[in-house]
């Protein structure tokens, strides 16, 4: 295994930072490959719409007593102006919600509603989505230009640092350098990223 040094290590570090979330690092939909001189990394998108994030931070008070999920959604739409979508199958199958909270962030209220109604929450296209099945993650592919990492590095030897002695043999302070350092192959770059992000394997090919 090639050591992670210089530009190779920096490139791998960028990918590792993106995979910092345990959910992303464990997601079987993630993949790594090469296309020409570009490293292509596909993983679930992690960034939520900033509009949704602002809405989820607003604080509200609610008092639900055996209220259906449809009525909860209607109340939250009117109170917060958030776009809330309830999947048709969730309307029939979801349990009723009994919840009383004061001055709580909308995001936490939504979490409690989902737990009590036994549904999943998703965030997609500027809307909060309640459904019986977990919303599949939207995949994002990022391209990293690694053309500079694919070039062999030529070594330019400096002056001789041999120390002469009376026998005429002398001693060499530095071993001779090879003419060039080979560049990592496509397979090596892909393997480096995979082993740093998820050493246990399970990548989508």
Shared domain for 67 and 36, answered yes or no, is: no
d(CA 204, CA 151) in angstroms, rounded, equals 28
Give CA 24 to chain center in angstroms: 5
71 in Cβ contact with 86 (< 8 Å): no
Scored b (16 or more CB within 10 A) or e, 34-59 reads eeeeebebebbeeeeeeebeebbeee
Predicted local distance difference test score (pLDDT) of residue 22: 46
Residue with tokens 């192959």: 185
**Are residues 65 and 27 part of one domain?**
no
pLDDT at position 29 is 62
Same domain assignment for residues 41 and 59: no
What does the pLDDT read at residue 201? 62
Asked whether residue 59 falls in the same domain as residue 40, the answer is no
Say if residue 65 is in the same domain as residue 125. yes
DSSP 115-153: HHHT-EEEEETTEEEEESSPPPPPEEEEEEE-GGGGSPE
pLDDT for res 1:
39
- Residue 113 included in any domain: yes
State the alpha helices, DSSP H only, in the chain.
Answer: 6-18, 22-26, 50-57, 69-80, 88-93, 106-117, 186-197
What total number of domains does the chain contain? 2
Q: Tell whether 141 and 127 lie within a shared domain.
A: no
pLDDT value, residue 157: 63
Same domain, 145 and 164: yes
Domain that holds residue 185: 6-45+137-197
**One domain, residues 125 and 146:** no
10-residue mean pLDDT series, the chain (205 residues): 50 57 52 78 69 89 94 94 92 91 95 94 87 78 75 64 59 58 72 68 62
Tokens 């919303």: give the residue.
135
Query: What are 134's two structure tokens?
Result: 């977990």
Note whether residue 36 is domain-resident.
yes
Residue 203 lies in a domain: no
CATH number, residue 105: 3.55.50.30
Supply the pLDDT for residue 177. Answer: 58
Q: Which pLDDT score is estimated for 62?
A: 94
Tell me if 35 is assigned to some domain: yes
Domain final residue pick, 131, 146, 163: 131
Whether residue 150 is found in the same domain as residue 104: no
Say if CB 133 and CB 140 are below 8 A apart.
Answer: no
Which pLDDT score, from 0 to 100, does residue 191 have? Answer: 77
Whether this prediction's pTM lies above 0.85 is answered by no
Q: Is residue 202 part of a domain?
A: no
15 located within any domain: yes
**Is 124 part of a structural domain of the chain?**
yes
Q: What pLDDT is recorded for position 33?
A: 79
Q: Judge if 177 and 146 occupy the same domain.
A: yes
Token digits of residue 192: 């480096």
Residue 204 located in a structural domain: no
């Amino acid at each position: 295994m090639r050591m992670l040094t210089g530009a190779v290590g920096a490139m791998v570090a960028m990918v590792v930072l993106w995979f910092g979330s345990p959910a992303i690092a464990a997601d079987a939909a993630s993949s790594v490959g090469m296309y020409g001189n570009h490293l292509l990394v596909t993983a679930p998108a992690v960034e939520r719409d900033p509009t949704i994030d602002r809405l989820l931070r607003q604080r509200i008070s609610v008092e639900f007593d055996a209220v259906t999920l449809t009525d909860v959604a209607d109340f939250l739409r009117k109170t917060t102006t958030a776009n809330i979508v309830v999947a048709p199958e969730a309307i029939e199958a979801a349990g009723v919600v009994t919840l009383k909270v004061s001055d709580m962030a909308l995001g936490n209220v939504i979490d409690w509603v989902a737990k009590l109604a036994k549904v999943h929450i998703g965030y997609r296209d500027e809307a909060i989505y309640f459904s019986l099945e977990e919303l599949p993650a939207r995949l994002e592919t990022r391209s990293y230009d690694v053309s500079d990492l694919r070039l062999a590095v030529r070594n330019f030897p400096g002056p001789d640092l041999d120390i002469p002695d009376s026998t005429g043999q002398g001693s060499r302070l530095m071993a001779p350098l090879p003419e060039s350092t080979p560049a990592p192959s496509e397979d090596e770059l892909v393997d480096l990223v995979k082993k740093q992000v998820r050493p246990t394997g399970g990548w989508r090919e």
